[in-house]
Amino acid sequence: MHSLRRLSGGANVLLCVSAMMACSPAFSSQEPATSTHSGFSRFQEFVTAGEYSSAERMLAEDPELAHDDVLMMPWLKLKQGKTEEGISLLRRHFGSATQRRDQVAADTLQVVADVSIESAIELGNGWLRDPDVADIHPQLRWLLSRLNLRNNRPEVARALVEEGLKNDYTGDFLRDGVFAYVLYLYQAGEPVEALRYFDALKERVPETRLEPSYQLQWAHIASAAGQPLGALKTLDRLQSEHPDYYKSNEVLFHVSKGLAYIKVGSVVDAKIEFSAAIECSRSDPSQADIAKAKLLEISENEESQRLAAMANASAADAFQTPLTNQRSWASRVLLLVNGVAVAVLFLWWMARKVLLGRASRTRE
């Protein structure tokens, strides 16, 4: 029935990552319920169409329609704006839970956040102040950190993450909470900080070092954070040690490698990886689009460099031509001066000869 709540656009998970990242599992969803109940189809139509009041009336008359989904009724009330009634039912459900109260809290906050993130944060903060639920305070901090990220309060999320890293809890909520913050930092253009928190996650939850999905994600962020050689090493090791995982994520591997090769200045290798990503693009069209964009960017850069080289060569030729012309004119002037000088000397010699001849005849 959880999936039925999703049909109307509700109950979104608190972290859905991009194609580079896997979807965080902390807020799990159940498989679609199947039913032989005669009124279930009608009930499902009301929920899907957003006719929550009609669905609420049907559920009140026949609780079996919920298929043991105790969150269905409060969710229907919340969707109609009956916030106090809905949260009251959720509090009652949470108070009666005796096992896995952290997961019950996660499911409850998820239902409230579908309608109002502010209300979900308020509810979670109330539990965080309640000494009767101190056993799940560490998990609540991680849940609240993700809710605050969704509510555009990264500074609050950061404080909760820092506080959460100081306690001894190392379960799934920590992993998913830190990873949510890592993704936020990466998308906010802070890959170095994202990598720092990712490395802290690997220290606190060592098994993340062994999971291929986390290794691939680390390599992608490490490359953006200025560690492309480490990223390439990790990607090569992953490809060798987990061939099945590589095969199912081949496009993402090629794109990640291409981006890393650009960082180390190996444009030829980058073009090979991006071209390979495009060739097997059916499995992940979004990553293929990235590869196409990067290839276009490389081609434009190469064309710009070629044009720049041609412009520099033309400028050099243009600079040399005036010099050559100047040297040519200087040579001509020098020849002219020399010619004039020779002519003057010749005339002076002739005049002197004439004068001497006259003087000689006068003495005779």
Contact between residue 226 and residue 194 where contact means Cβ atoms under 8 Å apart: no
Please report the pLDDT score of residue 167 as a whole number: 86
Distance CA 274, CA 190 (A): 24
Considering only 9-23, 94-108, 283-297, which range has the smallest mean pLDDT? 9-23
Distance CA 146, CA 199 (A): 19
Average pLDDT (312-340) is 60
Distance CA 82, CA 155 (A): 31
Look up residue 70 and give its two tokens.
């105790």
Please report the pLDDT score of residue 327 as a whole number: 56
% of the chain at pLDDT higher than 70: 74
At a CB cut-off of 8 Å and minimum separation 6, what does 257 contact?
A: 232, 235, 269, 273
Distance CA 139, CA 104 (A): 11
Task: Compute the mean pLDDT over every residue in the chain, rounded to the nearest whole number.
Answer: 81
Q: 3-class DSSP state for residue 36?
A: coil
Predicted confidence (pLDDT) per residue in 177-230, tens digit: 999 999 999 999 999 999 999 999 989 888 777 789 999 999 999 999 999 999
pTM over 0.85: no
Residue 254: exposure state from Cβ atoms within 10 A (0-12, 13-18, ≥19): buried
CATH architecture of 214-321: Alpha Horseshoe (1.25)
Residue with more model confidence, 57 or 323: 57
Look up residue 211 and give its two tokens.
């999971």
